[in-house]
């Protein structure tokens, strides 16, 4: 009985591995992040104070996926307050990225820097892209 309890405790504390597709999306998303996003949002996702907002545990990152996808596609030109700091730098549109690249990078961001959120799919990006207006 003691052996069963010990084995049960070990299994209970093991982290659930991410499905292979998610791991691949995160890895590919990291590549996109390092090519496209790192200059403004930094390697650690911390952003640049009063210029580029952090990507760490914010409602923009962890909240509504449609809103987040729209920001990537349209860019962002609003003053934002996060944890008492105001950020005002303009984020340009990244609509040149393929749907799968956007899905991968957002999945990476939503699952990095201490974030834990659902994945973003290319299908979701495609649906949002169809509804956004070109400037």
Instruction: Return the closest-CA partner of residue 109 out of 70, 54, 48, 49.
Output: 54
**Which residue's structure tokens are 């549109």?**
93
Q: What ranges do the domains of the chain cover? A: 20-131
The predicted structure's pLDDT at residue 132: 87
What CATH architecture is 20-131? Answer: Orthogonal Bundle (1.10)
The predicted structure's pLDDT at residue 19: 61
Instruction: Give the C-alpha separation, 58 to 107, whole Å.
Output: 14
pLDDT in tens, 27-55: 999 999 999 999 999 999 999 999 999 99
Residue 12 exposure: Cα atoms within 13 Å on the Cβ side: 6
Instruction: Return the closest-CA partner of residue 30 out of 96, 129, 104.
Output: 104
**Mean pLDDT in each 10-residue stretch from start to end of the chain (135 residues)?**
43 51 94 97 96 94 97 94 91 97 98 97 98 74
Alpha-carbon distances of 34 from 38, 76, 105, 119, 121, rounded to whole Å: 5, 20, 9, 19, 20
Helices (H) and strands (E) in the chain, counts: 7, 2
The predicted structure's pLDDT at residue 34: 98
DSSP 8-state secondary structure symbol assigned to residue 96: T
Alpha-carbon distances of 112 from 26, 95, 132, rounded to whole Å: 9, 22, 27
């Amino acid at each position: 009985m003691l052996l069963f309890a010990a084995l049960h405790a070990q299994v209970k504390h093991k982290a659930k591995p991410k499905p292979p597709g998610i791991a691949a999306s995160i890895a590919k998303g990291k590549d996109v992040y390092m090519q496209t996003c790192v200059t403004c949002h930094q390697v650690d996702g911390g952003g640049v104070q009063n210029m580029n907002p952090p990507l760490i545990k914010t409602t923009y990152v962890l909240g509504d996926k449609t809103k987040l996808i729209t920001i990537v596609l349209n860019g962002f030109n609003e003053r934002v307050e996060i944890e008492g700091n105001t950020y005002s730098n303009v984020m340009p549109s990244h609509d040149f990225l393929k749907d799968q690249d956007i899905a991968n990078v957002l999945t990476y961001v939503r699952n990095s820097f201490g974030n834990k959120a659902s994945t973003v799919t290319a299908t979701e990006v495609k649906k949002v892209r169809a509804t956004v207006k070109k400037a």
